[in-house]
Every structure is written in structure tokens, then in C-alpha cells.
């Protein structure tokens, strides 16, 4: 009994949503209470069998907003479909908007199970015959499957076109070729196109309000027109270059293991965004004297650690996607800043490792884990002298094994098999990057400009020294 009460308590919102969804469909027929109750039980059973398990995973477990957005779209879907069927007709693709939004903002699995749920409940409530049920089910499933291929806004219209053609064929098929209504045919053909425009139009508002982004808009975030990236490229060009390299590595690795490559790429661009606040303290931006030479190691650690805090603040202020906000602290997890820890030890200070630890949390999803690995590998690659394929491979294996042994990846969902595939991808990307640095054959060129002798001498000296340190912070 206690278990049942706990289950109801934990899933109270789910029950409320099922009830509300059913209520929205049943409003004119409330007189038949027993039918209503039976329907409610059926709806709940389908909900928990089909949909609930799909929601018990990341990122639903990280952010309540994912539940709220899912519930809002589902309820809105019930309500809208009811109006469309009543005002336009069954063959007007009533679930196009909610299913398209679900596949764009969540994933194709969730969109598919919701399609099945919608079809069964809708058929029960509207007493649809087998053909009606088959239409709603296949129409919604087709919307979900086509939606999973959407990468640009225009693809939503393409998906609508296919759904419209499918509806038309189904409509003509069920008429037995007797009474084709031209007006009705035109509406069936054009209404999904109108729905695609509504979906595209409403998407940015949903994303801004919920901070849950589709891949279409994640991709747009990563271009240089974004004010945060522009600021980073101007104030901390070294960090911007580093972030671009991390993005290349993370994208390739995510693609290989079947994680979200677009999320990995975009989050990598923003992972060190906090460094634009005090860029001159970070090794990739140090061209003159290293300010840490004159600072106590503990103070250096606090300054370096501050890029995480500043990054989160900037990301929140600019309403960046929730998962990108998560990557900012998670790309360092609870790792120790070894360079400053050893410096402190060498100075005879008796501070423990924990004093030089980032405050975490550890990566909570695969893409965050990949970015942690790509970040460390990129830093180590920059300090490599005379890289060869063998040296790159050994370095990648050592960096990834080190992080794994520190148990930083325990909560990321990455398996050892994933790590092997990631290491292979990192090695390939780094090797192709290093290989492209071919020396051009020298040509006699008459110089027309001459820089002063010492203008770069001092800078090069400092660069060499900082390169040795950069893998550490």
C-alpha cells in the first residue's frame, strides 16, 4: 500500500496531466461518467507504459523544466487537435504541431511514444473506426520520423509537405473515390504547411522561455554573431581558438558514439565563456609576463576557478540553453588544478589537494563528459613538441585514462567502450590538425615592411614558457 501511495505522490503531476488531457477531450460528453473514468484509467495505463520510461533519463532528471515543457506541449496538443478535428476535420494532420515540437525539443523516441498515446486516446474518445485510428497513428508517426531529420528551419516545411501528401492519399483512399470535395482536399493539402509556419514561428519563443533548445537553434547559437562569442573572440582570442579546437574534437567524438554532436559542438564554444572577464590570467591568452609568477598558488587557483562562476553568470544572463549552462561547471568537474597544487607544495605550503579542487559537479551527461575530455586533450596537445601519430595516440590515451581514474566520468553515462571510440576520434582529429602544418618551400621575397628587432623577441620567450604550463590550467 505504501508503495502505491509513494508512486502516486511521486507521479502526481503525471496523473494531473493525464486527467487534464482527458478532460480537455471530454468536455462536451461529461454526462457519461463511467466512460470518462474508464478512459482515464486506460489513458493512465498507456501513459505509464509508454511515455514515463522515456522521461526517466537525462536531461529530464537534471531539470524539472523538461517535464514542464513536455506536459505543456502534450496538453496543448490534446486541446489543439480537438479544435482542429471539430473545425476542419480529421484529415487535417491534427497532431502536426505538438509532434514536431516534441521531436525538435526532445527526441524522436519521445515523439514516437507520444504519437502512439495520442492516437489511442483520441480514437477512444472520438469513437474513431479502425481507419481513423490508423490515419492518426501513421500521420503522427510520419511527422515524428520526418521531424528527426530536421536540421534547418526549411526542413520543417519539407516535412509538412510529405505529411500533407500522405494525408491526401489517405483521404482519397477512404472516400472510395466517390465524393471528392475539392475545398476539403485543398485544406488537407495546405493545412500542414500552415502548421509548419506556426511551429517554426513559435519555436524561438518556447526556447527563450524554457531555455530548452532544438538542434536548429543550437546551431545558430554557435556562429560568431552571438554577442558572447564575439566578446570572447575580441577579449580572449586565445580562448576562442581553444574553444574552436575543443568544439572540433567534441563534435567528432559525440558523432562517433551517437551522442548529440550539435549540442557538443555548441556547448564547447561556450564552455570557457567566463574567461572573457579577466582573459590575461589564462595561459592561452598570456603573451607578456605571466601574472601568476607573482601570485600565491592558492590565489591563482581562486582566480582561475572564477571563470566557471563568471561563465555561469553570463550564460544565465543571456539565457543560454540549460545544458550549455551545465557544461560550464561540469567541464572541470571536481578535478584538481595540479599545476598550482604542486607549485604550492614546492613552496613548502601544507595545503591539501582539495584546496585546489574545482567545485563541480562532475559531468552529468555524455556531451559534458566528452567536453571535459576534449578540453584536457586540447590543452595537452598544444604543449606537445614534435607531435607524431604515436605520440598523439599515447597522449590521448594517457589524458583520458587519467580523467577516468580520477572518477570524474562516473556520472556522465560514458562507458569504457565509448572512451575507446572517443580516444580514436580525438587521435584522428589531432593528427589531421598537426599534419596540415606543412612547411611551404621558401621563395625569395623582397621585404617591403620591417618590424623593430625586439618587438616579438620578448613575446616568443614568454610563449615558450607558458606552453609548458598550459596543460595544467
Shortest CB 277 distance to Fe ion, Å: 12
Shortest CB 282 distance to Fe ion, Å: 8
Rounded to an integer, what distance in angstroms lies between the CA atom of residue 156 and that of residue 229?
28
Shortest CB 375 distance to Fe ion, Å: 4
Q: Are 92 and 187 in contact (CB under 8 A)?
A: yes
Q: Which is nearer to Fe ion, 207 or 272 (CB)?
A: 272
Among candidate residues 390, 336, 332, the one with its CA nearest the CA of residue 361: 332
Contacts of 105 (CB under 8 A, 6+ apart): 69, 73, 206, 207, 210, 212, 213, 214
Contact characters 353-392, Fe ion, x per CB under 5 A: ----------------------x-----------------
Q: Which is nearer to Fe ion, 272 or 411 (CB)?
A: 272
Rounded to an integer, what distance in angstroms lies between the CA atom of residue 16 and that of residue 18?
6
Rounded to an integer, what distance in angstroms lies between the CA atom of residue 358 and that of residue 301?
9
Q: Which is nearer to Fe ion, 367 or 375 (CB)?
A: 375
Q: Which is nearer to Fe ion, 166 or 282 (CB)?
A: 282
Q: Which is nearer to Fe ion, 375 or 408 (CB)?
A: 375
Q: Which is nearer to Fe ion, 217 or 284 (CB)?
A: 284
Question: 96-105 and 64-87 helices cross at what angle (nearest 10)?
Answer: 160
Q: Which is nearer to Fe ion, 375 or 418 (CB)?
A: 375
Q: Which is nearer to Fe ion, 144 or 304 (CB)?
A: 304
Sign of CA dihedral 251, 223, 472, 306: negative
Shortest CB 374 distance to Fe ion, Å: 9
Cell 621563395 appears where? 443
Shortest CB 291 distance to Fe ion, Å: 17
Shortest CB 429 distance to Fe ion, Å: 16
Classify residue 431 by burial, with Cβ atoms within 10 Å: 0-12, 13-18, 19+.
middle
Q: Please write down the HEC assignment for all residues of 223-244.
A: CCCCHHHHHHHHHCHHHHHHHH
Shortest CB 297 distance to Fe ion, Å: 18
Shortest CB 283 distance to Fe ion, Å: 10
Contacts of 110 (CB under 8 A, 6+ apart): 51, 54, 55, 70, 102, 103
Classify residue 254 by burial, with Cβ atoms within 10 Å: 0-12, 13-18, 19+.
buried
Rounded to an integer, what distance in angstroms lies between the CA atom of residue 272 and that of residue 327?
10
Shortest CB 271 distance to Fe ion, Å: 6
Q: Are 2 and 24 in contact (CB under 8 A)?
A: no
395's grid cell: 597522449
What residues numbered 261-290 form the site for Fe ion, per CB under 5 A? 272
Q: Which is nearer to Fe ion, 139 or 239 (CB)?
A: 239
Q: Which is nearer to Fe ion, 54 or 309 (CB)?
A: 309
Shortest CB 102 distance to Fe ion, Å: 33
Q: Which is nearer to Fe ion, 251 or 375 (CB)?
A: 375
Cell 544565465 appears where? 316
The number of residues that bind Fe ion (CB under 5 A) is 2
Shortest CB 202 distance to Fe ion, Å: 35
Collapse the DSSP code of 318 into the 3-class scheme (helix H, G, I; strand E, B; otherwise coil) and give the result: coil
Cell 496538453 appears where? 75
Question: 366-382 and 416-435 helices cross at what angle (nearest 10)?
Answer: 40
DSSP one-letter string for 162-193: HHHHHHHHHHHHHTTTS---HHHHHHHHHHHH
Give the interface with Fe ion as residue ranges (CB under 5 A): 272, 375
Amino acid at each position: 500500500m505504501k508503495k502505491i501511495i509513494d508512486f502516486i505522490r511521486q507521479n502526481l503531476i503525471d496523473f494531473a496531466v493525464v486527467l487534464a488531457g482527458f478532460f480537455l477531450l471530454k468536455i462536451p460528453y461529461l454526462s457519461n461518467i463511467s466512460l470518462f473514468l474508464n478512459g482515464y484509467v486506460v489513458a493512465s495505463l498507456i501513459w505509464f507504459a509508454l511515455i514515463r520510461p522515456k522521461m526517466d533519463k537525462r536531461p529530464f532528471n537534471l531539470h524539472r523544466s523538461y517535464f514542464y515543457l513536455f506536459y505543456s506541449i502534450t496538453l496543448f496538443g490534446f486541446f489543439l487537435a480537438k479544435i482542429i478535428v471539430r473545425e476542419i476535420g480529421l484529415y487535417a494532420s491534427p497532431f502536426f504541431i505538438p509532434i514536431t515540437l516534441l521531436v525538435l525539443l526532445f527526441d524522436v523516441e519521445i515523439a514516437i511514444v507520444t504519437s502512439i498515446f495520442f492516437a489511442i486516446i483520441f480514437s477512444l474518445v472520438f469513437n474513431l473506426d479502425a481507419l481513423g485510428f490508423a490515419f492518426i497513428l501513421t500521420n503522427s508517426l510520419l511527422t515524428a520520423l520526418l521531424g528527426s531529420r530536421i536540421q534547418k528551419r526549411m526542413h520543417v516545411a519539407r516535412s509538412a509537405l510529405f505529411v500533407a501528401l500522405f494525408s491526401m492519399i489517405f483521404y482519397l483512399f477512404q472516400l472510395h473515390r466517390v465524393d471528392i470535395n475539392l475545398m476539403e482536399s485543398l485544406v488537407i493539402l495546405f493545412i500542414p504547411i500552415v502548421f509548419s509556419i506556426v511551429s517554426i514561428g513559435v519555436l524561438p519563443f518556447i526556447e527563450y522561455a524554457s531555455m530548452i533548445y532544438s538542434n536548429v537553434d543550437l546551431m545558430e547559437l554557435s556562429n560568431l554573431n552571438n554577442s558572447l562569442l564575439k566578446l570572447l573572440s575580441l577579449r580572449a582570442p586565445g580562448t576562442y581558438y581553444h574553444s574552436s579546437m575543443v568544439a572540433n574534437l567534441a563534435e567528432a567524438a559525440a558523432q562517433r558514439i551517437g551522442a548529440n554532436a550539435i549540442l557538443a559542438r555548441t556547448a564547447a564554444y561556450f564552455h570557457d565563456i567566463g574567461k572573457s572577464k579577466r582573459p590575461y590570467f589564462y595561459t592561452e591568452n598570456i603573451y607578456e609576463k605571466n601574472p601568476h609568477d607573482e601570485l600565491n598558488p592558492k590565489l591563482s587557483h581562486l582566480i582561475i576557478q572564477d571563470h566557471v562562476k563568471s561563465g555561469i553568470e553570463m550564460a544565465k544572463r543571456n539565457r543560454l540553453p540549460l545544458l550549455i549552462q551545465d557544461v560550464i561547471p561540469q567541464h572541470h568537474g571536481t578535478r584538481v588544478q595540479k599545476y598550482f597544487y604542486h607549485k604550492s607544495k614546492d613552496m613548502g605550503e601544507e595545503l591539501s589537494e582539495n584546496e585546489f579542487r574545482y567545485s563541480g559537479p562532475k559531468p552529468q551527461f555524455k556531451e559534458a563528459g566528452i567536453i571535459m575530455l576534449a578540453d584536457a586533450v586540447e590543452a595537452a596537445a598544444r604543449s606537445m613538441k614534435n607531435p607524431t601519430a604515436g605520440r598523439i595516440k599515447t597522449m590521448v590515451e594517457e589524458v583520458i585514462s587519467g580523467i577516468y581514474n580520477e572518477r570524474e566520468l562516473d556520472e556522465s553515462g560514458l562507458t569504457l567502450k565509448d572512451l575507446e571510440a572517443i580516444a580514436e576520434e580525438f587521435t584522428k582529429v589531432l593528427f589531421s590538425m598537426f599534419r596540415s602544418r606543412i612547411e611551404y618551400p621558401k621563395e625569395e621575397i623582397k621585404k617591403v615592411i620591417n618590424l623593430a628587432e625586439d618587438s616579438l623577441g620578448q613575446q616568443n620567450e614568454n610563449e615558450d614558457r607558458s606552453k609548458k604550463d598550459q596543460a595544467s590550467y
